[in-house]
Amino acid sequence: MADQTATGWQLTRGVILLLLVIGLLGTAIYGAAVALDHLRTGVAAGVLTASATVLISVITLVASQRADRRKLIEQSVRERKVPLYDELIGFWMATLFMADQLSEDEMAARWQKFNGESLHTLILWMSEPVIGAYNRMREVGLRNVESGNTEGSPEAVFAFEDLLIAVRKDLGHSNAGIERGDLLRLWINDVDESLINQTPTDPEPV
């Protein structure tokens, strides 16, 4: 019973203090308004102009600091993503180059090792466009496997290029001027003859 009485008194005291603060603020605002009203028009206008200038300066400073802080956070996140994306792309590039040399069991072992060691971290750091490109690439690969096409397809290769483009964008590159097949040409010599002419030329949006 004593605890309830003490709690009730604390609530009452808090309400009284809150009302007192509101009353003081209201009195101060009213006094300032009256004072300005008694000033000459030119003086009042000058005070208002100066106040507006100071307010704008403060808002600009706060916005600039927030923008700088946001840039620092984005840069920190990108630096964290670089080694993860390097591992992801490295795994896929090595898998592509070794595809003809590995048996199905060896390929499955590579997948299991990668999924067990790295995929959980990538899930935490991949951007939404990268996740979308990664899932599209997996879907194409699964369709090829289900149809018995173990040698891949132009669609699968371009899905991998879309993943590369999404990763580059997430790391801050604009990808301006990058066209279908440009990244593939870094290691595939006959992109135009064997791939471009067999598929649509527009990259997947990311």
The secondary element (H helix, E strand) that includes residue 3 is helix 2-38
Please indicate, yes or no, if residue 203 is contained in any of the structural domains: no
Residues 15, 102, single domain; the answer is: no
Please indicate, yes or no, if residue 117 is contained in any of the structural domains: yes
* Mean pLDDT in residue range 156-172: 92
What phi, psi does 123 have (nearest 5°)? -60, -35
Residues 162, 184, single domain; the answer is: yes
Residues 10, 82, single domain; the answer is: no
Question: Does pLDDT of 131 surpass 90?
Answer: yes
Residues 91, 175, single domain; the answer is: yes
| Cα 92–chain centre separation | 23
Residues 87, 30, single domain; the answer is: no
Record the pTM.
Answer: 0.61
Sign of CA dihedral 112, 117, 123, 129: negative
Q: Name the range with the highest mean pLDDT among 20-34, 109-123, 125-139.
A: 125-139
pLDDT at 129: 95
Provide the domain limits for residue 114.
75-198
Q: Give me the number of domains the chain comprises.
A: 2
Residues 95, 169, single domain; the answer is: yes
pLDDT range class, residue 151, cuts 50, 70, 90: low
CB 178 within 8 A of CB 167: no
Q: How far is CA 67 from CA 54, 80, 92, 160, 179, in A?
A: 20, 20, 36, 34, 32
16 or 91: whose pLDDT is higher? 91
Residues 83, 54, single domain; the answer is: no
* Mean pLDDT in residue range 79-87: 90
